[in-house]
Chain A
Amino acid sequence: MTDYSIKDKVAIVGIGETRYYKAGQAPVSEFQLALEAIQKAVADAGLRIEDVDGFASYSDDRNDPTRLAGALGIPQIQFSNMHWGGGGGGMAGAVGNAAAAVVAGYAKHVVAFRALAQGQFGRFGQGHAGARVRGAAAYTAPYGLMSPAQMFAMRTQRFMHEHKISQEALCGISLASYKHAQENPRAVMYGRPFTRESYYNARWIVEPFRLFDCCQENDGAAAVVLTRADRARDLRHKPVYLMAAAQGTGYRQWVPAHNDPDYATSNFKTLAPRLYDMAGIGPKDVDVAQVYENFTGGVLMSLVEHGLCDADEAEAFCTNGNLEWPNGKLPLNTSGGNLAEAYMHGLELVLEGVRQLRGDSTCQVKDARVCLVAAGPMVSPVSNLLLRN
């Protein structure tokens, strides 16, 4: 039978990122950050900028391929793609789209990237300023439900209620990221030791989220280069292969006014089985996981929906150091992730997945073979990847 999937046909061969800054502190423009990360990723692959012939991004990235190609002097662009949806739901999707383009033969070397200096434009975390709101926002914003934290706390509260999960689970997820960031000099929260007390002493943002349940906002850029597996073997690094990529959304997710029939979900229920099926492996084969943290509650649901733990045992799974390197059952977000490394809308998680499979992580999981990367969660569409070495 013909295998129409991308499985094992594409590899990530280069990764690059700028220094990560606190929000508003980048000394250069967002576009310059994009240029820097892309050039570093291409150099890391051992390729020339002239080899790049495609770009993929998500979340309405402002740095469009035409402008990038012009600035970089790229001879020809053969693929350019924007993944629909806001936030980080398209992070793995952009990588998956790049992979599809490579397999389809549209392009040879596609860069998936994200550049962010939101302070130079507009922040996701701020409410609507307009006096009148229409459509879906009319059913929520007048009641003070407007920020991402407020949208997602509601779902998380419901999930925790349905499965009798306490704040401890969220604390465990936050602790893992902050602990891992202490090993990672790239992390914005490097050098900021963090304890259970730090977590509980922080103020409420919106119950059940305290300050450290929420991702940072940062300036920076990150990029990865993908090419066909047969070309990848001649490049600088050991290739990191895509075992599977999935993207999409479940039944009537995000219909207005929080009317999703399945409400308390990270929205991975339909994707995760497809992802494992394409890869031909199961949750037990995952050695390390990079799971997008917009808010800890979404990570909790993502772990459950990827079969990494049972909903009714999720609290035990997320506490007692189970998510922490080096001794935990499933080291999670080993660079510090969106919470504590940097909020590059999750693309930094793909870079960390590649580092784990090259053996280069600052929290290197011994003999890591398979890494899950999940992007979203609780948004629509969401996306995910399984990487292997």
Chain B
Amino acid sequence: MASESNITTESYLPEGMPLPAPMPDGLDAPFWEGTRAHTLLVQRCNACGTFQFGPEWICHKCRSSDVGWAQCSGRGKVYAFERVWHPVHKALRDKGPYLITLVELPDAGNVRMVGNLLGDPQQDVKIGDDVEVVWEDHQDVTLVQWRRPGQ
């Protein structure tokens, strides 16, 4: 995959990690269908415009049940991060350190999403750093990952 592309089939964490599946009640199906289509969707209330993530059946602000989905740019900022050293899943046993970041999305009401920060796990990370979305394609599901812009 060319480095300028934000789509990869190379997974950051080893094979064998749990993968997401939509909830049986359909609440988050649009989100996961969106990631599959390489589109970042965040729930937005059609009545009052409030963003929310994860999805809910009603808007937490105005309680309207007319809640839709808005596409966002996929550009965000590091709100918090952590470097994990101790593996708690068998697939991570020999992985070594990895970075998880909590990303704030300014164009979606500052909702946050969790992902890995791609690249060197020992890199210096600062709260407030700019990141952009990377689509990590698996066989039947796509994860939302993050990297430095243009990395």
**Chain A contacts to B: CB under 8 angstroms:** 125-147, 149-150, 153-155, 157-158, 161, 203-208, 252, 255-259, 263-264
Contacts and interface: CB of A to CB of B under 8 A. Distances in A.
Contacts of A142: 13, 17-20, 143
A300 to B, nearest CB: 15
A135 B98 CA distance: 23
Contacts, number: 135
Interface residues of B, number: 40
Contacts of B114: 139-140, 143, 145, 257-258
Contacts of B17: 141-142, 144
A147 B82 contact: no
Given A139-B113, A140-B114, A203-B85, 12 more contacts: A133-B19, A142-B18, A142-B19, A144-B84, A145-B84, A150-B82, A157-B80, A161-B80, A205-B85, A208-B82, A259-B52, A259-B112
Contacts of B80: 154-155, 157-158, 161, 258, 263-264
A264 B127 CA distance: 13
Given A142-B143, A154-B102, A149 B86 contact: yes
B83 interface: yes
Contacts of A143: 13, 100, 114-116, 143, 145
A296 to B, nearest CB: 15
A154 B81 contact: yes
Contacts of B112: 257-259, 263
B101 to A, nearest CB: 9
Contacts of A155: 80
A127 B87 CA distance: 9
A258 B21 CA distance: 19
B86 A204 contact: yes
A138 B20 contact: yes
B22 interface: yes
Interface in B105-124: 111-116
B109 to A, nearest CB: 10
A144 B100 contact: yes
Given A133-B18, A263-B80, A205 B89 contact: no
Contacts of A161: 80, 127
B82, B98, B112 — most chain A CB neighbours (10 Å): B82
Contact of B102 (A141, A203, A208, A258): A258
B60 interface: yes
Contacts of B24: 134
B28 interface: yes
B1 interface: no
Contacts of B97: 204
A265 to B, nearest CB: 13
